[in-house]
A and B are shown apart, each in its own frame.
Chain A
Amino acid sequence: MLAYARCKSVGVQKQGKDRRVASGILEDELYAMECKIVVNRPTLIIESVQTHMKRFTTNRCTRAEKVFAKAEGWKLDRDLDGKIKKELGRHGCRHMAILLVDCCRALARAEVARDLRVALEKDPGLDAKLFINEFYGWNPELADYLRLQ
């Protein structure tokens, strides 16, 4: 028998030229929660964060929801994951912090996937590594945050 299972799922949408939206859910034996964010493109600033603690363990867990709005105005950069885990995880909820990091990470990777899809349509034999170098050239602001490897 399984002792524990955790499922996380994130979907990313492009809403117009300068708006990206990610929504994530987390479900396990103890917790269920969801997180939605809006990020501006190309500034990579988090414009809105909406969290919902659906299933939790203590009478105080819902206090965490208020903490996550603090991420509004933060930028997707190399310090972001640590900041979310330390400042929002410790004062809010560690599990929601992980989900928020996943949403931000997925949102950044979606930028690559989207451009790669277009590039492959034009050139099915495209060299992926060459594409990545070019992508960083076109999107230097993402180089600081992307974790493709």
Chain B
Amino acid sequence: MIVDFQMNNLTTVEMIEQGSWRVISRSEDDLFSAEVVLDVKSPALDIRQAKVEVKRDVLGLVQDLSTATDKLIGVRVGPGMTKIVRAVLGGENGSNRLAELVLDSMEMLINAITVPELRKANEMAGVPFKSESDGPKVYLNDRVIGEEMVRLMAGNPRMKDSCAAFGDL
């Protein structure tokens, strides 16, 4: 059957200079298109610049949010960000979709920062792996973080019980 609605999202994270990150998120569907650009600075991971642009709004429901967007400056990527961003950009006079796109962008920065740590964990304590859910001809997971390292990582209160991998330990 032919698809009659599509949603596509792309988020990229780039270090533009030492300690400065640029996160760009673009969301597109049949009714709506928007782009978020955030410049974030380490070590506090506070937003230094924010741009939210609606490219297409077929239903014409999203109001001008430039004043609200300015209030994102200084917001830190970390605990409490969800409540702040939803309060600044979401709600009846705002746009919940844009608030979620900003939060997605912030979340992806956290993921970007986590990648080197996970890579290190895989290099140090990775184990050869073959899963029944992988293959049967092409295996994407030849080496994964093994039980010992998983238990060690679960010792971090932020990781413990955060998902199936770090639960029941």
Q: Which residues of A contact B (CB under 8 A)?
A: 1-15, 21, 28-30, 32, 52-65, 67, 89-94, 102, 105-107, 109-110, 112-114, 116, 128-129, 131-132, 147-149
Contacts and interface: CB of A to CB of B under 8 A. Distances in A.
Contacts, number: 173
Contacts of A28: 108, 111
Contact of B133 (A52, A147, A149): A52
Interface in B4-35: 4-15, 21, 29-32
B112 interface: yes
B44 to A, nearest CB: 18
Interface stretch (B45-53, B54-62, B68-76): B54-62
A4 B14 CA distance: 7
Contacts of B6: 9-12, 106
Contact of A4 (B13, B146, B165): B13
Given A3-B112, A13-B3, A113-B5, A57 B122 contact: yes
B86 interface: no
A32 B140 contact: yes
Q: For chain B, what secondary structure do more than half of its interface residues adopt (helix, strand, loop), or is it mixed?
A: mixed
A116 to B, nearest CB: 7
Nearest to B27: A8
Interface in B70-121: 94-97, 108-109, 111-112, 114-115, 118
Interface of B: 1-15, 21, 29-32, 58-62, 94-97, 108-109, 111-112, 114-115, 118, 122, 127, 129, 131, 133-134, 140-141, 144-147, 150, 161-167
B13 A59 contact: no
A92 B5 CA distance: 28
Q: Which 3 residue pairs across A and B have the least CB separation, nearest first?
A: A110-B5, A4-B112, A11-B3
Nearest to B21: A3
A6 B10 contact: yes
Given A58-B150, A109-B31, A116-B58, A53 B5 contact: no
A55 B7 contact: no
Contact of B13 (A5, A13, A60): A5
Contacts of A1: 14-15
A128 B112 CA distance: 39
B111 A8 contact: no
Nearest to B150: A58
Contacts of B3: 11-13
B9 to A, nearest CB: 4
Nearest to A110: B5
Contacts of B14: 1-3
17 contacts: A4-B115, A7-B9, A8-B10, A9-B6, A11-B6, A12-B5, A13-B3, A55-B140, A57-B122, A57-B144, A57-B165, A58-B146, A59-B145, A60-B147, A113-B4, A114-B5, A129-B60
Given A60-B164, A149-B62, A11 B1 contact: no
